[in-house]
Amino acid sequence: MRIGIADTMFARADMGGLAIKTMKKEIARKGYNVKIERYTVPGIKDLPVACLKLFREKKCDLVVALGFVGGAAIDETCAHEASLSLINVEILEGKHILKVFVHTSEAENDAQLAKILKDRVEKHAINALDLGFRPESLIKRAGTAQRQGSENESTLKI
């Protein structure tokens, strides 16, 4: 299996590097056979075509797209455009892109933002491997209020 990592120079932390480090540990632990391809672009709106290239030119089976969203209104608009377009690439290719975006507006300070970023990237790096190698493990966790970036939420009693 080939997994693509698309990230940006804009991000305030090495999200791609952290995703790769987390994956490599899990790959070794589980004995998976994975080749990782990395592609770095200037900003979040460059991620969709980067993912497309990872699918087409590097033959990736799934991609993790890592984006950092600035604190201004225009940054949120960019994130929305990137997000919609990443889903368009998924539909075009029929393959998953895990969309890992961290928004500056989620945190009150840099320390909290770093913590959210670390938790979200690490959990989604594992989710990507689970989606690729053990999709049935996701069905088992369906509806369990899984969160990336914070603790899981409580479940509803239905």
Residues 17-36 that bind a copy of itself (CB under 8 A): 17-18
Q: How many residues bind a copy of itself (CB under 8 A)?
A: 76
87 binds a copy of itself (CB under 8 A): yes
CA angle 134, 151, 84 (to 5 degrees): 65
- Provide, rounded to whole angstroms, the least separation between the CB of residue 96 and a copy of itself: 6
Spatial separation of the C-alpha atoms in residues 53 and 59, rounded to whole Å = 8
Residues 42-61 that bind a copy of itself (CB under 8 A): 42, 45-46, 48-49, 52-53, 56
User: In terms of CB distance, is 30 or 87 closer to a copy of itself?
Assistant: 87
* Complete DSSP assignment for 90-140: HHHHT--EEEEEEEGGG-SSHHHHHHHHHHHHHHHHHHHHHHHH-THHHHH
108 binds a copy of itself (CB under 8 A): no
- List the one residue from 1, 2, 13, 132 that touches a copy of itself (CB under 8 A): 13
62-69 vs 2-8, strand pairing mode: parallel
User: In terms of CB distance, is 3 or 8 closer to a copy of itself?
Assistant: 8
134 binds a copy of itself (CB under 8 A): no
User: In terms of CB distance, is 30 or 84 closer to a copy of itself?
Assistant: 84
